[in-house]
Amino acid sequence: MIRDAFDDFESTSPLSSRRINSPPPHPPTPTPTPRYQEDIAILKIKSWLKLAVEDSVHIGDNLLFDLTTKNQYGSIGLLSLVDLTGTLFREEAD
């Protein structure tokens, strides 16, 4: 047995991928629901959210974020890469 310190995480650590939520028809509960116009305004100013139609989210809609994260470690306690991608699904309010 050889004992030594290991510090070459970048060249040996593969990307790990993990899904955060499942897409419909099996949505997780609870789903976020915008209650006020301000909630929708906050979503719209986020650089990471690209809406297909500008006015596609309304007060009372149920939202589901189907997210996938990819992480790569630079050391035992430090992430060197975090990539988060996903899709926003919307269920119209009644």
Domain boundaries, the chain: 9-91
Distance CA(75)–CA(14), nearest Å, equals 12
Question: Looking at residue 37, what is its pLDDT?
Answer: 92
Question: Looking at residue 1, what is its pLDDT?
Answer: 58
- For 10-42, letters b (16+ CB in 10 Å) and e give eeebeeeeeeebeeeeebeeeeeebeeeeebee
Chunked mean pLDDT (size 10), the chain, 94 residues = 64 57 51 86 85 83 83 80 84 81
Query: CA–CA distance from 58 to each of 16, 19, 63 (Å)?
Result: 35, 26, 10
pTM for the whole thing? 0.54
